[in-house]
């Protein structure tokens, strides 16, 4: 079983749409969780951390369900600049990040 | 800018050759991790160095080896290159093993093509 499973997409949505990404992780010992964003041919960049209580950063909302080992990301009012690949990332011990394959989002004018 | 620099940015090697990739970590960061990202995949953890010692390794063969220097910069060496080694190699630095993940910074990566 893979450490992290994500729907690879692609998700093609119009500007202004709301889009949701989900992922599941297999290591129940993971304590920290993140969403990273990766633009084409660039390095991954931290988008936001994910907390059990759920957290919001502007148009982005992340949720964690430890019981189901499930993480989600909601993007509201999509912008063209949101087009990227979104990577679900649980962290193992010693700051090792386990990346999923990512979900590709294209926001269409 | 993250303060993590990698070199070279692009290189082409022939199957069977050896390659060395370099990473300078952000100032004050003593932990460096290396990741391999093949086309269409997420980054895969290769290994991590903490204060010049290997501190964890992913599912990569021994021909992938590394080094960390006293200034915490690091090298990734790959021997006997195979076509499947073609990928983006990412270096990430952090201030310590137990610091939060939001203090992990990636370099821009080294693109390796094996022909």
> Using the beta-carbon criterion (under 8 Å), do B48 and A95 form an inter-chain contact?
yes
Does residue B43 belong to the interface with chain A, where contact is any CB pair within 8 Å? Answer: yes
What is the spatial distance between Cα B28 and Cα B94, in angstroms, rounded to a whole number? 8
Contacts of B110 in chain A (CB under 8 A): none
DSSP one-letter code for B25 = P
d(CA A52, CA A71): 9
Residue B9 has pLDDT above 60, yes or no: yes
- Residue B1, pLDDT above cutoff 80: no
| Interchain pair B109, A43: CB under 8 A | yes
Asked if residue B94 has pLDDT above 90, the reply is no
Tens place of pLDDT per residue across chain A (109 aa): 678 899 888 999 999 999 999 999 998 888 889 999 999 989 999 999 898 888 999 999 999 999 999 999 999 999 999 999 999 998 876 667 888 889 999 999 9
Tokens standing for residue A56: 């919001």
Which residues are CB-contacts of A64 (< 8 A; sequence separation ≥ 6)? A33, A50, A51, A52, A54, A70, A71
Q: What is the pLDDT of residue A3?
A: 83
């Amino acid at each position: 079983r893979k450490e992290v499973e994500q729907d690879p997409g692609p998700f093609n949505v119009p500007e202004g749409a709301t889009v949701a990404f989900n992922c599941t992780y297999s290591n129940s010992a993971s304590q920290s969780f993140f969403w990273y964003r990766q633009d084409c041919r660039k390095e991954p960049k931290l988008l936001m951390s994910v907390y059990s209580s759920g957290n919001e950063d502007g148009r982005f909302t992340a949720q964690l369900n430890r019981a189901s080992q499930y993480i989600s990301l909601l993007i509201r009012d999509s912008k063209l600049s949101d087009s990227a690949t979104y990577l679900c990332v649980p962290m193992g011990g010693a700051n090792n990040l386990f990346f999923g394959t990512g979900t590709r989002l294209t926001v269409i004018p | 800018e993250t303060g993590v620099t990698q070199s070279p940015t692009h290189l082409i090697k022939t199957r069977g050759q050896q390659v060395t990739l370099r990473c300078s970590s952000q100032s004050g960061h003593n932990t460096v991790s290396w990741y391999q990202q093949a086309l269409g995949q997420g980054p895969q953890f290769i290994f991590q160095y903490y204060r010049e010692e290997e501190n964890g390794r992913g599912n990569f063969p021994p021909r992938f080896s590394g080094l960390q220097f006293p200034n915490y910069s690091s090298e990734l060496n790959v021997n006997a290159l195979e076509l499947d080694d073609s990928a983006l190699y990412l270096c990430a630095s952090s201030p310590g093993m137990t610091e939060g993940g939001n203090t992990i910074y990636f370099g821009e990566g080294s693109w390796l093509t094996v022909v």
